[in-house]
Structure 1
Amino acid sequence: MQEIRRYKPATISRRLSVVVGFYRTCLFDGLLDASPAEHVRRPHVPPESPTLGLSHPRGTVLRGWRCLSLQFEAMLHAARSSPNINDFALVTMLGLLGLRIFEACGADIEDLREEHGHRVLKVRGKGAKVVLTPLPPAVQRAIERAVDRRDAGPILRNRRQARMDRHAATRRLRHLAEDSDMSLPRIHPHMLRHTFVTTMLDAGVDLRDGQIAARHADPRTTMRYDRARKYLDRHPNYILAAYMASGT
């Protein structure tokens, strides 16, 4: 995987974990006396996320909580103007709700509901976990456009009016990137989720709240998305120096 297929360390580590778990189960069930994967060393996975989000102008806050990136704003404009009614919903579900691509493609019209005065979407995430995600007005409008007065079925559809899959979604995003003149070599759905997390943190959202919004089981996962942020500008050293300014 590393030398021939040139997979990234995170991909190799994730695949090896499946193999290790398989042999561990065989040990528990008494099918093997020892695990052949016990001493296999996994590659070092860097603590920061290798995925880059879309860039954004520092200090620009648009309509409250979100600080939209210039590139993401351009993609939103292209999706809103697209004749394909699914494009706007796809971009907002990934970039403004932070859904994983399989969560967005797996969302059904029946998952839309009202809860305590909020319009929400029932999201089926990793490990079959189900959460209710509130829909901002822009996302509501985008989804209503994609639903197109239907009563049932998938929210996102392909050109054959069947459920959109991750491959069709990736093609739509690349088409939108071309329409918006984005200078990105290879855009993929996870870049929008990455933008969702990093923009939230830049807008001042607490790490714990960001973890909940992104539905990360471990806060360290949320911190890995922090790679594109200028964290040195907000280093605690500056906060301490400002607090102690009277004595220095």
Structure 2
Amino acid sequence: MSDVTAPLPASRDAELARRSFLAHYTGETLKLYTADLRLFFTWCADIGIHPLDARRSTLEAFVRHLEHDRHNSGRSIARRFQTLRSFYKLAVADEIIDRDPTPMVRLPKWSIDRTTIAWLDDREMGRLLRQAEDTSPHYHALVALMAMLGLRVSEACSIDIDDFTEDAIGYTLVTVTRKGGKVRTMPVPVPLLRILERARDGRTTGPLILTKRRNRQTRNGAYFWIKELCRKAGLPENVHPHSLRHSYATALVRAGMSIQDTQASMDHADVRTTMHYYHQPMNHDRHGAHVAARVFASAA
């Protein structure tokens, strides 16, 4: 938390705006946004401009600094700038400033090659789950939580045994603190429950997923677990923990769940985010050209 509380080279109002903005976030998001604002505030101090006095031209100069001096990618610049958008939007809402300087700022163009995004199909996920089961109950529980509940790796690692409850009709539920500090209660399907019971091993309190030293598994440690499992299972080298979340979304839609229900299951605010996680292999049989040809040919 030292990064959050340490004063930055800015005016008192700018520091107040910074603290007010960061107070809305926790965990990894807080660390990320803290670093973004520190970078921007320090750059403003270097050129002699208070952050709250920035105009569109100032922000475009900052974007060029990220692009040419720091050699940030277009995607990285867009992500950092989204932090600034949110920061200035809140500053206007708090009446710290009377205008938002972020509209019309030109950002470098970028796109994602979706063919490079790693995800696992049903058979590959099955191989990963079997390899995890053969390794240890805790490896198995980690993979199953991300594959069957669509949890982010930090969410899965943060689960405690005390987070499990039972509702009035017998469903086992787990309370998860999700991205942005949102607390959600999710049902635990029977196949997943059996896996988690083996990881619990009769314990009644403490972290669910443990390392060999009986400590709570961490985000970084889980990354190496997944890499180890994929190597042993003969899965692609570029698979990482977040690939399992892509696999979860894809499995739901391909099994017939609507994209809106999938969005709710993944706790996304915008359905466009959910669409990013859904991977549909090229299928010429489903191309819209067939529909258009049938409609227009019958009318001719």
TM-score (norm 1): 0.79
Runs of 5+ consecutive residues of structure 2 not aligned to the other structure? 1-65
Q: CA deviation at 1:51?
A: 2.7
Runs of 5+ consecutive residues of structure 1 not aligned to the other structure? 57-67
Q: Which has the larger radius of gyration?
A: 2
CA distance in structure 2 between the aligned counterparts of 1:246 and 1:113, rounded to whole angstroms: 58
CA contact (8 A) 2:227 2:237 kept: no
Structure 1 residues 215 and 240, CA, compared in 2 at 3 Å: closer, same or farther? farther
Provide the residue aligned with 1:96 in structure 2.
148
CA distance in structure 2 between the aligned counterparts of 1:48 and 1:217, rounded to whole angstroms: 23
Provide the residue aligned with 2:166 in structure 1.
114
Q: How does 1:231-246 map to 2 (within 5 A)?
A: 232-238=284-290
Q: Does 1:168 align with 2:233?
A: no
Q: Deviations over 1:185-223 (max 9, x none)?
A: 332111001001012111221111211221111111111
Q: CA deviation at 1:149?
A: 1.1
Structure 1 residues 8 and 93, CA, compared in 2 at 3 Å: closer, same or farther? farther
Provide the residue aligned with 2:188 in structure 1.
135
Provide the residue aligned with 1:61 in structure 2.
none
CA distance in structure 1 between the aligned counterparts of 2:69 and 2:243, rounded to whole angstroms: 26
Q: Does 1:178 align with 2:249?
A: no
Q: Quick check: which one's helix share is greater?
A: 2
Percent identical = 32
Q: Which has the higher contact order (CA 8 A, sep 6+)?
A: 1
Provide the residue aligned with 1:229 in structure 2.
281
Q: Quick one: which amino acid aligns to residue 107 of structure 2?
A: R
Q: From 253, 267, 280, give the equivalent of 1:215.
A: 267
What secondary structure sits across from 1:96 in the alignment? helix
Structure 1 residues 124 and 181, CA, compared in 2 at 3 Å: closer, same or farther? same
User: RMSD of the alignment, in Å?
Assistant: 3.1
Aligned residues: 233
Provide the residue aligned with 1:41 in structure 2.
106
Q: From 110, 115, 118, give the equivalent of 1:52.
A: 118
CA distance in structure 2 between the aligned counterparts of 1:158 and 1:208, rounded to whole angstroms: 37
CA distance in structure 1 between the aligned counterparts of 2:233 and 2:98, rounded to whole angstroms: 58
Provide the residue aligned with 1:59 in structure 2.
none
